[in-house]
Copies of this chain bind each other. A is one copy, B any other.
């Protein structure tokens, strides 16, 4: 899947903050495997380590406690974000760091700006020098150029000057500041820990430390934490919010609570609603492990059909040496997933997947199941087919790569090589998220309707 997300984490007021952040980034690794970086503040210096690869790889030879000392730090794991894919310059890896009239700055962003080009032009014209091709870097000159007297105001002003999704962590000489844009596209949670505070994209990052109580940073809010105190302020307000529904469908860890809801329970309801909308007559229900496990199990239990582990996933799928690309993609599915012939041969099976994007993996799975002897292969999706790329994510497949945008819904089953195809309606999806009227969630990728079209501009509370 190529939905654009990133993971961010921060800690302040705890010893070895960078080490704490590194553990949270490991827990958020599913949000970005391409690169990782951490900046810590110590003794008037901002130290950074970053690199391409998994958190474990980037920090394999870094003695974090010694090389990134200090009681405050922020970090970032990167999915595919803006920038040509061959621009593998270190410059592109967050957090960004620099020295400004407001002292040291470091910034980590989960989001995407839709007004990148005009905003960039305006900042350059003011004399800014940019180091990367990342839209997130614009927060650096936005803050550097701001004349506002306090950190939280500078950050809030920067968020208000951007359009799009912005969940931002700003580390400066004063403390650690976290902001979410007024529509709340991307999750950001925080918690008290020891004598300080933690920030992360998902609550599963806090579970490592047995931190049970946490809260979402609300849309249009900024939380400012220093060594001594924490303050939450509302800098902008919108009646309607646009929290990402695809996060619950696919992106989040199921053990996370984001946007105030357990993703596990949302996914159970997705599976149950799917069973109601699109039942199937079969001998076995299979998940596509691990992303559709919860939906497939709930679907099976709702229908009373036996659930089974008929598709086995290998978890040693790192950066692979397989080339060329075509062969890599082909072999990739076979190395990642394998059907249990002894179980499947002679059975009618229904595979429940979380979503339908390009359809290529789905087609390979259906072939794999037939090779293993399945007599019928039915496919069910716990969300509507994706028909439009996410405007908030630049590397999503172009529209013509989306199966549901290319192929008539009647033809889709034939195209995927399955005996029947069913999926959840948008209403079923919204119901599962307890948002029957769709006032809080963005479903733009399923509908093509611009998420903020027709909505009033949020009200700013900045002085």
A297 touches B308 (CB 8 A): yes
The answer to whether residues A125 and B101 also contact, given A264-B340, A338-B204, A340-B255 and a CB cut-off of 8 A, is yes
Q: How far is the CB of A293 from chain B (nearest CB, A)?
A: 5
- A145 to B125 CA separation, bound complex (whole angstroms): 8
A237 lies within 8 A of chain B by Cβ = no
A356 lies within 8 A of chain B by Cβ = no
A452 lies within 8 A of chain B by Cβ = no
Q: Which of A313-333 contact B (CB under 8 A)?
A: 313-316, 318-322, 331
Q: How far is the CB of A137 from chain B (nearest CB, A)?
A: 9
Question: CB-CB < 8 A to A90: which residues of B?
Answer: 90
Question: CB-CB < 8 A to A98: which residues of B?
Answer: 129-131
A316 touches B129 (CB 8 A): no
- Can you name the residue of chain B whose Cβ is closest to the Cβ of A99? B130
Task: Give the residue among A23, A90, A128, A315 with the most B Cβ atoms within 10 A.
Answer: A128
Q: What number of copies of this chain does the assembly contain?
A: 4
Task: Give the residue among A54, A208, A312, A320 with the most B Cβ atoms within 10 A.
Answer: A312
- Can you name the residue of chain B whose Cβ is closest to the Cβ of A50? B90
Q: Which of A17-31 contact B (CB under 8 A)?
A: 22-23, 26-27, 29-30
A127 touches B126 (CB 8 A): yes
Q: How far is the CB of A289 from chain B (nearest CB, A)?
A: 8
- Can you name the residue of chain B whose Cβ is closest to the Cβ of A209? B334
The answer to whether residues A321 and B129 also contact, given A30-B314, A124-B101, A309-B297 and a CB cut-off of 8 A, is no
B55 touches A335 (CB 8 A): no
- Can you name the residue of chain B whose Cβ is closest to the Cβ of A207? B338
A210 lies within 8 A of chain B by Cβ = yes
A253 lies within 8 A of chain B by Cβ = yes
Q: How far is the CB of A29 from chain B (nearest CB, A)?
A: 4
A64 lies within 8 A of chain B by Cβ = yes
Q: How far is the CB of A248 from chain B (nearest CB, A)?
A: 13
Q: How far is the CB of A299 from chain B (nearest CB, A)?
A: 13
B29 touches A314 (CB 8 A): yes
B316 touches A55 (CB 8 A): yes
- Can you name the residue of chain B whose Cβ is closest to the Cβ of A55? B316
Smallest CB-CB A-B distances: 6 pairs: A262-B342, A127-B145, A98-B129, A29-B316, A315-B315, A101-B124
